[in-house]
Amino acid sequence: MDRAFASKFAKMYFMTVVALLILVYVGTRFFTHIDLALYGYMVGTFVFIGGFFYRFIAWAERPPTKLIMKKGLKLLFRKSTPQTSVEHLGTYRFIFKRGVYRWTQHVLLGWGCILSCCVTFPLVFGWMYFTMGENGLYTVVAFGINVMQVKADGWIAFLFYNALNITAFMVIAGVCMALYRRLNNMQAKAEQTFTYDFLPLYLLLFISITGLLLTFSNIFLHGWGHPVISLVHQWSVILTLIYLPFGKLAHIPFRPMSVLAKNYREAYGEQQMKACKVCGSSFVSSEQSSDVIQVLAQNDISFEMKEGFHLAELCLPCRRKYRMSRFTGIPTHEIKVKEANQHAKG
């Protein structure tokens, strides 16, 4: 089977597209319920999948990533995995430690995007659609099966109608909070760039606003300008999907990998911790320290010091002080006093 494809990327992309087409075939009752107005989104999604696989495989083939993924997958069924998954993928508890403001911002942006995808993609691929009978009831159809009936003027139907409007307001609020922070926070201003930090936010903002304009046109303008707004909105979504795997937004589909990294750190940290060669404090697991040395060796990078230890065997404060000592000639790394401002807020 591998010989039929030029690369691992080609194989994974082909098999994913075939699987999606089979699901579309089944979900649309043999291609009888395809909404051609959503055809552009489908094409954009296939392009996104290609870009995502290309980026993911290039990232996963890096020695550090390959090592953590290999060991992390072996630890996937730890008792703590469900809790870690909820904290990293659901509640974003790790961000809450950085402040309520940033946590709220990430919850609005993260869940706004995730819920939008959960609504959009089933509609785009025809896995879910609605029919309405003469009795005033909407029938929700999923993969060709009538799942439920709801009143057309009921609150459940209202949520169905306005799901994307609700998520659009969530994304707009999250983007505004992110922009405010980036324009006012000293550290963020020093580190940010337009193409990497601001452009993704502007794209999400444009998609959300044009999506809301579609609803505004239907309700208040009786459909005036709807074809043009619909085309602009569709192109903005397609361009964002194409851009997504190669920019900062890529961390959204990559986020599940953090569960593997957390399991890796916790599992080996419970076995044996590594003591810093200078100050003696435990700072990382012995397994992780040896893995770092091993990965560096694979890339012909050696940080063996003349004092007889590897730089990866020092905790971060001692590592910084040791680098200072190489420039000044003063053994600053041997000073037992820790840095007073290593956790300062800038």
Q: What are 73-122's pLDDT values in tens digits?
A: 888 888 889 999 998 888 988 888 888 999 999 999 999 999 999 999 99
- Residue 274 backbone dihedrals phi, psi, to 5 degrees: -95, 130
Alpha carbon distance 216, 221 (integer Å)? 7
Higher pLDDT, 294 or 202: 202
Q: Does pLDDT of 1 surpass 70?
A: no
Whether residues 254 and 320 fall in one domain: no
Residue 344 lies in a domain: no
The rounded distance, in Å, linking the Cα atoms of 343 and 103 is 19
Q: Report the alpha-carbon distance of residue 140 to residue 146 in Å, rounded.
A: 6
Residue 345 lies in a domain: no
What's the average model confidence in pLDDT over 332-342?
A: 60
List the one residue out of 284, 285, 310 whose CA is nearest residue 296. 310
- 71 and 215 part of one domain: yes
- Residues belonging to the chain: 346
Residue 41 in domain: yes
Same domain (yes/no): 282, 229: no
- Alpha-carbon distance 175 to 181, whole Å? 10
- What confidence score (pLDDT) does residue 344 get? 44
CB crowding 238-269: b at 16 or more within 10 Å, else e: bebbebbbebbbbeeeeeebbbbbbbbbebbb
Domain total in the chain: 2
Tell me, yes or no, whether 342 lies in a domain.
no
pLDDT at 115: 93
Do 251 and 283 share a domain, yes or no? no
Query: Residue range 155-159: average pLDDT?
Result: 88
**Is 339 within a domain?**
no
Residue range 50-64: mean pLDDT, rounded:
87
Establish if 320 belongs to a structural domain.
Answer: yes
Predicted local distance difference test score (pLDDT) of residue 335: 66
Same domain, 66 and 181: yes
Considering the domain architecture, whether residues 94 and 132 belong to the same structural domain is answered as: yes
Residues 119 and 246 in one domain: yes
The Cα–Cα gap between 73 and 60 comes to: 13
Mean pLDDT across the chain, nearest whole number? 85
Among 201, 228, 258, the domain boundary falls at: 258
CA dist 247 and 67 (Å) reads: 24
Domain-located, residue 228: yes
Q: Select the more confidently predicted residue: 243 or 328.
A: 243
Look up the domain containing 209 and give its range: 2-258
Same domain membership, residue 243 and residue 127: yes
Percent of the chain with pLDDT over 70: 95
In a domain, 266, yes or no: no
Q: Does 232 have pLDDT greater than 80?
A: yes
Confidence of residue 3 (pLDDT cuts 50, 70, 90): confident
Q: Alpha-carbon distance 326 to 20, whole Å?
A: 56
pLDDT tens track for 243-286: 998 888 888 888 888 888 888 888 888 888 888 887 888 888 88
pLDDT higher for 295 or 336?
295
Out of 199, 224, 258, pick the residue that ends a domain: 258
pTM for the predicted model, two decimal places = 0.82
Alpha carbons 309 and 325: distance in angstroms, whole number: 15
Mean pLDDT of 42-63: 88
- Based on the fold, state whether residues 20 and 79 are members of the same structural domain: yes
Q: What is the reported pLDDT for 346?
A: 38
Terminal C-alpha separation, the chain = 54
Q: What is the CATH number of the domain that holds 95?
A: 1.20.950
Tell me, what's the pLDDT at 336? 65
Domain boundary among 258, 285, 310: 258
> Would you say residue 342 has pLDDT above 70?
no
Asked whether residue 314 falls in the same domain as residue 288, the answer is yes
Q: Give the C-alpha separation, 235 to 240, whole Å.
A: 8
More confident residue, 169 or 73: 169
Same domain flag for 41 and 111: yes
For 253, phi and psi rounded to 5 degrees?
Answer: -70, -20
Note whether 9 and 62 are same-domain residues: yes
